[in-house]
Amino acid sequence: MSAHSKCEERVTRILIKPGSASGCRYHRSGILHLSSTMSTHPVVELTSEASWAMVEDKFSPYAKETLAKLIEFMESEILPAIKVAHAQLPIDPNMRWKTVIPIIEELKVKAKKLGLWNLFLSKAHYPEFGVSLTNLEYAVMAEILGRGGHFAPQVVNCSAPDTGNMEVLARYANREQQQKWLVPLLNGEIRSAFAMTEKHVASSDATNIRTSLRREGDEIVINGHKWWISGAGDPRCKVHLVLGKSDPGNKSAYHQQSIVLVPADTAGVKIIRPMKVFGYDDAPEGHCEIIYDNVRVPVGNLVLGWGKGFEIIQGRLGPGRIHHCMRSIGAAQYALDTMLRRVTDPAKKTFGKYLYEHGTVVADIAKSRAEIEGARLLVLSAALQIDKVKAKGALKEIGIAKFVVPSMALEVIDRAMQSFGAEGLSQDQELASAWAGLRTLRIADGPDAVHIQQVGLKELKRAPALVQKDMEIKRKQAMLMEKAGVKAHL
């Protein structure tokens, strides 16, 4: 029986109850349990009953089936393959950046056959290219993918920066641009990079961008120095979406930028070096320093129009930020699960006791559980808002999740690492690399301080209405006190 057939059979056993056994519950083991509740989805074992109960009625039958299929595929195919993927990536510094990891490519074929493909792209927002999933439905699926580090999202074509770039192309690109770049990205045939951050300026303020985009006849000439450009090191990376300043004299600081599509092999595109995150190079995708030296592309490579760069990046970063948060929840949950296995392992007893019987281990477990639950609700709330009012209308919810979730996940992973001792810091566990990757999220897509400032200022806008309401309550209070003959005490 093929892997596809086995997965379908297992999912069917999970979701479909024989006859009219409406009072039955199924676990992923296929064992039948009597229950007074509705059928329990396998996601409950990986998240929580409470969070699933809040969103289950918002999931379509297709979404529930796809989620169950993803969980089965994750546990039977992806997680067992992660160490193989690491082993297939050469240590040789030159070969690392020329390698397409074989087992990832094999799993991509299986995932596509199962329909586990481009799950992030909602048909509600992208009718022509999307799948029949809402952002809320994908949020739960992204959490599952977060359990598999940066390999799992690749397998189902849901990894950054391609996800954000595909959304940009689906929303803003013209038909010719979509056929040339979006279609092969959707098919998983190529990869891409988004070139925004610059070395010599504070790029958290996008108006500081200095890379120049200058029109000469039928061409756009690009000159600039970028770094931390994720995905640019991959041998499959075929296009860069480059943000630059095209109209520096414009009175509006938010209409000076444009985005242009630059084929990765264009003359003048110089990959200087891969940057490292706490010593990790994240090959073969990497995060590269790039110089664009008199790079020339056709005017037809301009996306949406001159001066539309800021509009595009705001549309791109909203969903991208929440996707990162969704996966971060999964990474934190996986770390807690790993910690639970460790502290209950009889082979790791110290002084005759299990690790959980020492110190504050139980309290650490409880804190991690509580923090994950709270952060998950933030993410689900933000995803639901995006479905209702799109990313622009959900900026507050996205911003809160962006500065709360990564910090939470870092704390949870740190506790898990501590339970492993030195092993938790090594390559023998995924915890250290997960921590390093998550630490970048407190800076990537806008540093914590920016999101905190924006959310705080948005809250302050409520103050005048609150003062007015308080004055009205006090006015009525004074009237009632006078009527009752009660003297006010100031």
pLDDT in tens, 29-73: 333 333 334 458 999 999 999 999 999 999 999 999 999 999 999
Query: For residues 70 and 157, is the Cβ–Cβ distance under 8 A?
Result: no
Per-residue pLDDT of the chain (490 residues; tens, 9 = 90+): 555 555 555 555 545 443 333 333 334 433 333 333 445 899 999 999 999 999 999 999 999 999 999 999 999 999 999 999 999 999 999 899 999 999 999 999 999 999 999 999 999 889 999 999 999 999 999 999 999 999 999 999 999 999 999 999 999 999 999 999 999 999 999 999 999 999 999 988 889 999 999 999 999 999 999 999 999 999 999 999 999 999 999 999 999 999 999 999 999 999 999 999 999 999 999 999 999 999 999 999 999 999 999 999 988 876 778 889 999 999 999 999 999 999 999 999 999 999 999 999 999 999 999 999 999 999 999 999 999 998 888 989 999 999 999 999 999 999 999 999 999 999 999 999 999 999 999 999 889 999 999 999 999 999 999 999 999 999 999 999 999 999 877 6
Cα separation of 402 and 317, whole Å? Answer: 11
The vertex-131 CA angle with 126 and 134, nearest 5°, equals 80
* Integer angstrom CA distances of residue 2 from 33, 110, 225: 29, 10, 49
- Of the candidates 349, 345, 348, 343, the residue with the CA atom closest to the CA atom of residue 365: 343
Is residue 221 within 8 A of residue 271, CB to CB? The reply is no
Distance of alpha carbon 412 from alpha carbon 374, whole angstroms: 13
Amino acid at site 240: H
Looking up tokens 């595929």, which residue turns up? 73
Cα–Cα distances in angstroms (integers) from residue 352 to residues 312, 359, 363, in the given order: 60, 14, 20
Residue 314: its pLDDT value, please? 83
For 101, the token pair is 């990891």
User: What would you report as the CA-atom Rg of the chain, rounded to the nearest whole angstrom?
Assistant: 25
Task: Name the burial class of residue 171, with classes exposed (0-12), middle (13-18) and buried (19+) by CB atoms within 10 angstroms of its CB.
Answer: middle
pLDDT tens column, 171-224: 999 999 999 999 999 999 999 999 999 999 998 888 999 999 999 999 999 999
- Contact indicator for 173, 203 with CB cutoff of 8 Å: no
Dihedral of alpha carbons 92, 97, 102, 104, sign: positive
Contact in structure between 17 and 75 (CB atoms under 8 Å)? no
pTM for the whole structure = 0.89
Token pair in block for residue 191:
């990869």
Beta bridge partners of 245: 212, 257
- The answer to whether 256 touches 311, Cβ cutoff 8 Å, is no
pLDDT of residue 490: 62
Encoding tokens for residue 413? 């992973």
C-beta of residue 119 within 8 angstroms of C-beta of residue 158: yes
Residue 2, pLDDT score? 56
Token pair recorded at residue 311 = 């509009």
Supply the pLDDT for residue 18.
38
Give dist(CA 276, CA 425) in Å, integer: 17
Per the CB < 8 A criterion, the answer to whether 295 and 266 are in contact is: yes
Residue 453 makes CB contacts below 8 A (sequence gap 6+) with: none
Q: How far apart are CA 185 and CA 129, in angstroms?
A: 11
Q: Is 456 exposed, middle or buried (0-12, 13-18, 19+ CB in 10 A)?
A: exposed
Residues 6+ apart with CB under 8 A from 242: 195, 211, 213, 222, 224, 226, 259, 260, 261, 262, 292
Q: How large is the angle between the packed helices 395-420 and 448-460, nearest 10 degrees?
A: 140
Q: How far apart are CA 257 and CA 263, in angstroms?
A: 19
Show contacts of 468-474: CB within 8 Å, 24+ apart. none
Q: What is the pLDDT of residue 29?
A: 39
Decide the pairing of beta strands 191-195 and 237-245: parallel
Q: Could you tell me which residues are beta bridge partners of residue 243? A: 259
pLDDT at 16: 45
Cross-strand pairs, 27: none
For 190-232, where are the E strands, in sequence order?
A: 191-195, 212-216, 219-230
Q: What is the reported pLDDT for 239?
A: 98
